[in-house]
Structures are given as C-alpha cells and as structure tokens.
Amino acid sequence: MQFSSVLKLSNREKSDLLVLLFWQGEKKAKAAHPLGEFQAAVQTPLDLRDFQGREGEVLFIYAPNGSKERRIALLGLGKQEKLCSETLRIAFGQLTRACNRKGIEQIHVLLPPAAEMRHPNIDETLRGIGEGMMLANYRWDEKNLSNEKKNLLKSVTFIGLLPKKLEILEEIKLVAEAVYLARDLINGGADHVTPSFLIKTAEKIADRFPTVKTTILDKKRLEHEKMGLLLAVGRGSSHDPALIIMSYQGVPKSKDHTVLVGKGVTFDTGGLNLKPTGSMETMRDDMSGAAAVMATVAAAASLQLKVNVTAVAPICENAIDAKSFKPGDVYRGFLGKSVEIGNTDAEGRLILADALAYSVKNLEPTRLIDVATLTGSIVVGIGDEIAGLFSNDEKLASELLAAGQSTGELLCQLPLHAPYKELLKSDIADIKNIGGRAGGPILAALFLEEFVGGTRWAHLDIAGPAFGSKERPYLPKNGIGYGIRLLLEDLKRRAK
C-alpha cells in the first residue's frame, strides 16, 4: 500500500473513491469536516438515516457528475467523545474491507481538522488509521483457490495531511510487513512450514537485514548442548528439531537485552497422547509464538530501534511415530532437571524449558519474555481475543499490560500461585509436565518458572488470540500475528 498526501481537496487527482468521515450524532450523523461540494450528495442518506455514523459503518454512494471519483464512501467514527485508537483501527479496517470487497484500489481520505479529533495528537490518530488499514488489507490465498480475486487496496491519499507526517505511515508499513510474515507462516500448511522452512525464513531475514545475526543449533548441536526436552518432543518427526537464535543489537554499548522466546511446534498432534478429532485441525498454529518473536526481531531491525533484542525459537514437530517420546518416561533437559512426562501433549512447556534455560545461561537477558500457544484451558477461561500474562516481576508485567492496551492486544494477568507447584511433583523425577485439570494455564506457567532462575521473566499464553475462527473488524480469520505490535511497542518504549 502506498500512502501519499495532498493539502487541499481541490488539489486531488482522480481516484476510485473519496472517503468522508462522520461522527454518530443524537439524531443524525454529523460530518467531521466541512462537506463543501458534497453537502448535497450526502444529504439524503443522512436524512433517511441510511447511514448513522456508527463505528466502522460504511455506506457507498455515487459521486455527483464531474467529480474526480465516481464513488464516495461515508465512514462512521462512532461518538466523537468516545474516539480512541481502537475505534480508528476498527473504522479504517472496515473501510479497507469494504474496498477489498469491491476491488477498489485507489482512494482519497478527507481528514478532519485536528481540533475535531479528541485524540492525543495527530501522530496517534494517523497510527490508528494506518494500523487499521494495513492490518485489514491482507489476504492469505497461497494456492489462489479463492474465486474472489479482487485486488487489495494499493494507494491511499490523505487530504489535509502534511507530507512530513507520512513518515509515521511508513513506520506502520514496516510493522505490518512483520505481521504479514507471521500470518503467512502460521497460515501455511504444516507440511510446508516445517522446522527447516522456519530455519530458511530466519536465514532470509538475516540476509535482508545485515544487523540481524542468525544462529541455528541443529540436532547434533542440541545433543551436544544436552537439550534433552526439545530433542524428546521432536523425536517422532521426520523433521529434525532445532533452536533458532536471531539477535539484533541497536545499542551495542548498553547491557539492556530483551530475549524473546517463542514456541515453535510446526504441528501438534499431541504425540502418543493423541489429540482427538476436532482439537487437531488448527494445530499448524502452534508455532505462532516462534513466528511472533522472529517477526518482532525482523521489524526491530527494519525500524532500526535503539534496543537490543534476541529471538530464541525452539522448533520441532510433535508427531506420532515408533520413535516418539513416551508418557511415563523421564527425560532430562539443558538445565539438568529430570522431567516425568505425564502427557506428551503438554509439549510446549518442555521445549520452552530448554530454550529458556539456554537463554538464561548464554544470552545474559535483562528481561526474558516467552510467547506460546501453550494451553487450551486458557481459551476456556478468557476467550480467544485475550492472551494470558504471567510474570515474576510486577514492573515487567505492567510494561507489557500497558503496551498491549495501546496496540489493542489485550492481556489478562494471572497469578504464579506458588502453592500449586505441589501439583507438579513427581515420584520419579524432579518435576512432572502436567498437574491436574484445574488451573491448567497457571500450572504450565509454574512449570516454565522452574527454568528461568532469578531472571526477570514474563510468559504470554497466546493460545486464544493467535488464530482467529472468524474475521474481526481489522483482523483476519486464521493466523493473526498476535503479539508483534505489542512487543514492538514495549521495545519502542525502552528505546534509548
């Protein structure tokens, strides 16, 4: 998508569509800017209340003869006093969707005068608008099977915007590109997006951004490092497990180092504790955490953020085979702790345990954040639009909560309730990978905590919001790319 600007309505060129903005009024929608020559054209839909200006409402009408465009869209921003970034994302996401359905490629958007927008400032307003458009303007159609092959939006010109402000939109494009990368990786079939495909992707990112250094620990190296838990989970697959490490140093002089660990199970059958029909069909999304942390590092590099950040992704496939790791057996990982396997489907915490312990020992993290589609039970508890947050550090937790609040990626903090550790006790090993049914997400987090030592650490359980079962105003169905904007926002807030 190309963004451009013109200062005056009369200076605009021809395009497919002119977008006019409206607030929801008491009786009638109210224009957010002077309507000038379009007053007459919009009068009837407003009088008849065919259009009320509700958040994300879009009405197409035909432009008067002689206009530079044939269609006009009325776009609702909801109640003026309720304007916020999320409203802008929703409204402009819906506008983009409406354009996509008609194959409209080139549009002009008339911006209201700054005083109309009760929003912190023009930069934040543009951010909401740009994010809504970019996040919605995506289609996953790898095999081109869909009959609907209408083009996506290609060009957006803002009327009344200073050209300098376009920089913000360029930034948003780089972030969206990272989100698209993650979505493509999540959406791609598990026979295509294999561990070696993720490795190739990491290497491509490093080729593209020379400031990103990628290291791959292959199976041999994992054996040498004694990463017995990652090796155990990956054992039943014809694709070897690996550990991807991607580092970006934006402030080499600083010791500040955020390490992001992402669960990368390219397909989760459950292993010998096989998942039932109905629970396995979307399990290609079980590498959403890995996709998120890899994409975040790529975006940090493309934005040249002044931070140091490393993505660590343990990757493997949890498959069924004669060689699969076994329930009831005991395996020892990088940290040396022995783990009794109560259930081979609780595999995420096993591979994360090795990746977390390895990061603590080798990467000197000042903050460690893992992102994982870890438990089905968290979806039961808080639904599929919110991620669970656990942390051993209240400051880190509040930083992440604030970042998520601002990007619209909501987090719900749950306690690392120590007494529940009792439930993870094993007769034959140091710890067991499952407890009872009760408190599933907390038990998973408590298990991970055993592998981070005293490091400031947070765990995001994204099992719900990683994958959408339906389209939402600015988010697609299927792979969402959840967490990337949140992590980048958090990193930006600490940038030197």
Closest CB to ligand BES among residues 176, 346 = 346
Q: Which position among 12, 79, 275, 492 bears the catalytic label? A: 275
Residues numbered 78-137 forming contacts with ligand BES, rule: CB under 6 A: none
Residues whose CB is less than 8 angstroms from the CB of residue 82 and which lie 6 or more positions away in sequence, other chains included: none
Report the half-sphere exposure of 250 (CA within 13 A, side-chain side).
22
For ligand BES, the nearest residue by Cβ is 376
Within a 10 A sphere around the Cβ of 227, how many other Cβ atoms?
A: 27
Instruction: Identify the residue among 111, 434, 445, 491 touching ligand BES (CB under 6 A).
Output: 434
Residues whose CB is less than 8 angstroms from the CB of residue 444 and which lie 6 or more positions away in sequence, other chains included: 346, 348, 349, 374, 375, 461
Residue 246 per-residue DSSP state: E
Q: Counting contacts by CB under 6 A, is residue 377 touching ligand BES? A: yes
Instruction: Identify the residue among 234, 348, 388, 404 touching ligand BES (CB under 6 A).
Output: 348
Q: Counting contacts by CB under 6 A, is residue 317 touching ligand BES? A: no
Q: Which position among 127, 183, 263, 349 bears the catalytic label? A: 349
Closest CB to ligand BES among residues 47, 281 = 281
The residue type found at 272 is L
Residues numbered 440-469 forming contacts with ligand BES, rule: CB under 6 A: 440, 463
Token pair of 165 as six digits: 């402000």
Q: Counting contacts by CB under 6 A, is residue 340 touching ligand BES? A: no
Closest CB to ligand BES among residues 365, 435 = 435
Q: Counting contacts by CB under 5 A, is residue 345 touching Zn ion? A: yes
Closest CB to ligand BES among residues 8, 437 = 437
Stretch that binds ligand BES, among 205-213, 340-348, 392-400, 419-427 (CB under 6 A): 340-348
Q: Counting contacts by CB under 5 A, is residue 286 touching Zn ion? A: yes
Token pair of 34 as six digits: 């002077």
In angstroms, what is the minimal distance from the CB of 176 to ligand BES?
24
Pairing of strands 387-391, 457-461: antiparallel
The answer to whether residue 200 is catalytic is: no
**Alpha helices by DSSP H, 188-321:** 195-208, 219-224, 228-234, 288-302
Q: Counting contacts by CB under 5 A, is residue 450 touching Zn ion? A: no
Residues numbered 264-303 forming contacts with ligand BES, rule: CB under 6 A: 268, 286
Q: x-or-dash pattern for ligand BES, window 49-88, by CB under 6 A?
A: ----------------------------------------
In angstroms, what is the minimal distance from the CB of 372 to Zn ion?
8
Instruction: Identify the residue among 16, 225, 240, 268 touching Zn ion (CB under 5 A).
Output: 268
CA distances from 356 to 28, 220, 312, 348, 387 (A): 56, 19, 8, 12, 20
In angstroms, what is the minimal distance from the CB of 373 to ligand BES?
4
The answer to whether residue 79 is catalytic is: no
Whole-number Å distance between alpha carbons of 316 and 293: 16
CA distances from 413 to 262, 378, 458 (A): 19, 11, 10
Q: Counting contacts by CB under 6 A, is residue 359 touching ligand BES? A: no
Q: Counting contacts by CB under 6 A, is residue 232 touching ligand BES? A: no
The answer to whether the CB of 199 falls within 8 A of the CB of 315 is yes
Task: Please classify residue 253 by burial: count the beta carbons closer than 10 Å to its beta carbon, then call 0-12 exposed, 13-18 middle and 19+ buried.
Answer: exposed
Q: Which of 271, 248, 436 is nearest to 350 (CA)?
A: 271
Q: Which of 219, 210, 217, 262 is nearest to 238 (CA)?
A: 219
Q: 3-state class of 197 per DSSP?
A: helix
Instruction: Identify the residue among 373, 407, 455, 478 touching ligand BES (CB under 6 A).
Output: 373
In angstroms, what is the minimal distance from the CB of 441 to ligand BES?
8
Q: Which of 322, 324, 359 is nearest to 345 (CA)?
A: 324
**294 contacts which partner out of ligand BES, Zn ion, none, CB within 5 to 8 A by kind?**
none
Active site residues: 275, 349
- For binding to ligand BES (CB under 6 A), which residues are involved? 268, 286, 343, 345-348, 373-377, 434, 440, 463
Q: Give the binding site for Zn ion (CB under 5 A).
A: 265, 268, 286, 345, 347-348
